[in-house]
Structure formats: C-alpha cells, structure tokens
Homo-oligomer: A and B are copies of this chain.
Amino acid sequence: MLSKRIVKYIQSLSHKKLRDEHGQFITETPKVVAEFLSAGKSRCQILCADKIWISENDNLLKNVLPGNIYEIDETLLQRISLLKTPNKVLAVFDKLPVSKPALSGKFSLMLDDIRDPGNMGTIIRNADWFGIENIICSENSADCYNPKVVQASMGSLARVNIMYTPLHAFICANKNVSVYAAALSGTSLSALKNIEEGIILIGNESRGIGEDLLNEARLHITIPRYGNAESLNAAVASGIILSHIKSPMAPEGGTKSL
C-alpha cells in the first residue's frame, strides 16, 4: 500500500535540493527504468507500476526488494506522476557514486554551465555512444538527476561518471591534460585527429565558454561552417566533436548496394 508519505516523498524528488538531501532520484521513462534495473549499480528504492508492466518485466525485478514494489492502477499513477501523460512505471533509485575521473590516455568532456536539461541528457547519451567515461560539469550546469535530463539521457546516465566541480580549479589541478575548447572561431576540429588524450570543453548555450576557462585551453577548436547559422546546438556540437575524435579511417562491414 502506497502511503501518502511515500507519494509526497516521490514528488519531492522533482526538486534538486531534496534529491541532494536524500541521494535519490526519480524517473518515469520505461527505458531508463529498465536500463538502471539491468545495470544493477544503483538500488531501486521504490517502484510503482501497473500490473502488466510488472508481469512483463519480471526478470528486471529480481534485485528489487518485494516490499519496494507497488502495483498501482492508472488513476493513482496519474496522481503521483510528474508527467502530463504518465507512463506505466515510475521508479526511485539511489544516485550513483561519483568517482575521481581518470583523465590520462583518453578523452573526457567538460561542460561550462550547460543549462538546458534536454541538452545535458543528450550530451550524456553522446558520451556513452562514443565511449567517453567522464563528464566534468560546472556547478551551475543542469543537474544530471533532473527528471528531464534523466529522460533525455535514455539510460546512458547509468554508464557515465558525472562530476560537478568548479572548473577552473579542476583544470589547474590537472595541468598535464590539455583542454580543447569548442569555440566559434579557432582551429578546425580535424586538428584533433591524431590526439589521443584531452578534455573537450563545451560552453553554455547562450554565452559560450567563460573567459577564465578559455584562457586555460591548449587549442580553440571550431566546427567548420558552410552556411549561415550563427551557432550549433551544444549537444550537436559535442556529438560532432566526439565523432571526429573517434573518426574511423576506413569503411566498415554491412555495405548494401542497390
């Protein structure tokens, strides 16, 4: 039986302050729930779902304490949900532990005040696609446990180490690793082709990268422009840069020729 106290607690997790206080977050995206349950790195503390979802996802629920699973009907789900159109499931997980990022011999991402939750989630998904293990975020960036970020990350949140810290101090403490700042003017990103280690720095959606951070960058990297748009979306830019870093040298299998 889902008590009023639990319902209130679930809804309180829409606020960052309370997520931080309790070290838990909420998600209502079925794919994210499934990915977190199967990754098994984070305990599921509350799971509310309708009868059908529960019976169809029996195999995912083996590590959830039976007392934490609540079978509820559509009306109740509608009442608890933070969404206009609730899905069939809603779950509360422990936030993941954050580890000190190992930067050597690989590329990491650094985000200077990415504010839009959709962008933040999409960047996490990009990082996961391209095998980037660490994202270092300024403290004013969107919280990676904001429900909209969690949704846009499509489960990748379970696989990327995300740290919030003052960026300038972080760069100064890691002077042996070069920072490559994504900017509107600078060296074409093809310059990154033969580099195997570094921090790719992406700036805020409106004002770009802070001057203090730009000054610490080894190179300002730009995505060559062929048309007239003033800028690219931050998540798109991060995806393009990561793709060029990992750029394949030759075509791969599966060719289909008509």
Tell me the A residues contacting B by CB distance below 8 Å: 118, 122, 125-132, 152, 154-156, 159, 185-191, 216-220, 222-233, 235-237, 239-240, 243-244, 246-258
Residue of B nearest to A189 (CB): B248
State how many copies of this chain the complex holds: 2
- CB neighbours of A250 from chain B (8 A): 188, 190
User: Top 6 A-B pairs ranked by shortest CB distance?
Assistant: A131-B226, A131-B227, A128-B229, A236-B239, A129-B229, A188-B252
Residue of B nearest to A191 (CB): B251
Distance of A232 Cα from B154 Cα, bound (Å): 9
Contact at A227–B122, with CB atoms within 8 Å? no
- CB neighbours of A246 from chain B (8 A): 224, 226
Interface centre among A128, A129, A254, A258 (most CB of B within 10 A): A129
Distance of A126 Cα from B154 Cα, bound (Å): 22
Contact at A226–B256, with CB atoms within 8 Å? no
A249: contacting residue among B125, B190, B219, CB under 8 A: B190
- CB neighbours of A225 from chain B (8 A): 129-130
Contact at A232–B190, with CB atoms within 8 Å? no
Contact at A128–B227, with CB atoms within 8 Å? yes
Q: How far is the CB of A186 from chain B (nearest CB, A)?
A: 5
> 5 A-B Cβ contacts within 8 A?
A130-B226, A186-B255, A186-B256, A190-B247, A222-B254
- CB neighbours of A155 from chain B (8 A): 229-230
- CB neighbours of A186 from chain B (8 A): 254-256
Contacts A218-B258, A240-B243, A257-B219 given: A127-B252 contact, CB under 8 Å? no
Residue of B nearest to A244 (CB): B243
Q: How far is the CB of A187 from chain B (nearest CB, A)?
A: 5
